[in-house]
Amino acid sequence: MVTDSLASIAETSSRLTGLNSVTLNLIAAIVVLVIGLLAGRIISNLAKKILTELELDRILREQAKIKIPLTQLISSVIKYVIYFITILMALNQLGLKSFILNAILIIVIVLLVIFMVLSLKDFLPNLTSGLFMYQKRNINPGDLIRINNIEGEILNVTLFETKMRTKNKEIVYIPNSILTKSMVIKKKKLR
């Protein structure tokens, strides 16, 4: 009888200890999430302030004629990377096996790579063509050209696109990759 009582007390104690362990892990995971989310927001805002003070967007806009809000992009990437690491740490705290965490990490990395490839499929050829055109300097503002049955005066050449005014005074933006892949007839220089 005493043995039965001791066994039931031991069983109850082990259940409470198991419950306490689960509860403590859950509380720790929530604390990790809260701290990680706050850290992500603070570090992201700090990076944004630093990049804004460095005037990165203005420099890119003036020097490379790139109108990408790189400050916002970099700060967002920093924030979401910290959020992702925080979620992984919280899941680890809950006791998920490393196999599940590795599977989640691989899936996220594959999705990021797919996203990057799809987003860069037009960007990289235009950038490469723009650099090639900049080096060769064969098409310049003021040139009169014809490409794919469109004729007009070149107004501006950037790393990604060329701005042209047609005879009808329409403004046409031509991706640089099209200019390097197509036959361009240079008629004369207007300026």
- Cα–Cα distances in angstroms (integers) from residue 160 to residues 57, 70, 122, 125, 129, in the given order: 17, 16, 9, 9, 8
In this structure, are 20 and 114 located in the same domain?
yes
Q: What is the DSSP letter of 67?
A: -
Domain ends where: 99, 121, 143? 121
Domain ends where: 62, 86, 121? 121
Rounded mean pLDDT, 110-124: 80
In this structure, are 60 and 107 located in the same domain?
yes
In this structure, are 54 and 92 located in the same domain?
yes
- Cα–Cα distances in angstroms (integers) from residue 69 to residues 11, 50, 160, 171, in the given order: 61, 14, 16, 24
Q: How many domains does the chain have?
A: 2
Q: Is the pTM of this model over 0.75?
A: no
In this structure, are 110 and 130 located in the same domain?
no
In this structure, are 95 and 15 located in the same domain?
yes
Q: How confident is the model at residue 112 (pLDDT cuts 50, 70, 90)?
A: confident
In this structure, are 32 and 46 located in the same domain?
yes
Q: How confident is the model at residue 43 (pLDDT cuts 50, 70, 90)?
A: very high
In this structure, are 156 and 84 located in the same domain?
no
In this structure, are 17 and 105 located in the same domain?
yes
- Cα–Cα distances in angstroms (integers) from residue 53 to residues 50, 67, 78, 84, in the given order: 5, 17, 17, 27
Helix, strand and coil content of the chain, in percent to the nearest 5, comes to 65, 15, 20
CA 168 to CA 151: how far, in whole Å? 10
In this structure, are 105 and 29 located in the same domain?
yes
Residue 178 CB contacts under 8 Å (≥ 6 apart), including other chains: 147, 148
Query: 86 or 188, which is more confident?
Result: 86
* In contact, 61 and 67? CB cutoff 8 Å: yes
Residue 179 is part of which domain span? 126-189
In this structure, are 107 and 179 located in the same domain?
no
Domain ends where: 75, 97, 121? 121
